[in-house]
Amino acid sequence: MTANFVWMLPFGPGQRFLQSGGAAGKIVGGWELSAIHSTRTGRAINFSVSRSSRDLPDGNSSNQRPDRVPGVPIVPENQTIDNWFNIAAFAVPKSGTWGNAARNLGRGPGVNQFDVSLQKAAKIAENHRLAFRAEFFNIFNRPHLGTPGSNISSLGSFGRITSPMNRTIEIGAARQIQFMLRYIF
């Protein structure tokens, strides 16, 4: 889900608050606040198991799925970045059989980001304006986590998140602040 708003702040001449003209009115008036809030669930994750080709019916050992242990939750009671999935929910299939775990059975961490901007355009002359804008991406600097390990054969990495989401800009990046000054004529 993505939602946004733009709000002309109610300060300065012609507005509800601080209506006085002069230099003070020009400084506090004409500001516009806008924001975008983006949130989404985590990406679907397939669980896998590493097996010898002789243990499989057709010898194809790539992308094999484990067995699901009935009644054991996939998500542990105290989910952390080091314990995102419950290893006890899976088992290595018996020799000569396929695993029964469904595709896209797990979910990685979701994303929740709030971006804000504040801008003002001031008239300098008839067809000349000066615009200032400050932008704050991921203003609350919420960490966005990468994908947890999903191979049950890799006990050291299974269910662990060892890196942030691989983004340097846009949704998932760390807080970024940028300023813009533009002369419009």
User: 89-104 pLDDT, tens per residue?
Assistant: 999 999 888 899 999 9
| Radius of gyration for the chain, computed over Cα atoms and rounded to the nearest angstrom | 26
Average pLDDT over residues 124-153: 90
83-92, 131-140, 148-157, 172-181: which range is least confident on average? 172-181
Average pLDDT over residues 131-145: 91
Q: Which amino acid is at 122?
A: A
- Residue 169 confidence (pLDDT) above 60: no
Q: Is the dihedral of CA 97, 49, 153, 71 positive or negative?
A: negative
23-37, 119-133, 160-174: which range is least confident on average? 160-174
Q: Is 1 helix (H, G, I), strand (E, B) or coil?
A: coil
Which carries the bigger pLDDT value, residue 28 or residue 71? 71
CA pair distance 1, 14, nearest whole angstrom: 35
Count the domains in the chain: 1
CA pair distance 138, 168, nearest whole angstrom: 12
Nearest to 73 by CA among 105, 112, 108, 27: 105
24-33, 78-87, 174-183: which range is least confident on average? 24-33
Three-state SS string over 29-75 comes to CCEEEEEEEEEECCCEECCEECCCHHHCCCCCCCCECCEECCCCCCC
Which carries the bigger pLDDT value, residue 6 or residue 18? 6
Average pLDDT over residues 106-130: 90
> Given pLDDT bands bounded at 50, 70 and 90, which one contains residue 167?
low
> Given pLDDT bands bounded at 50, 70 and 90, which one contains residue 183?
very high
Domain residues for the domain of 85 are: 2-184
- Residue 168 confidence (pLDDT) above 70: no
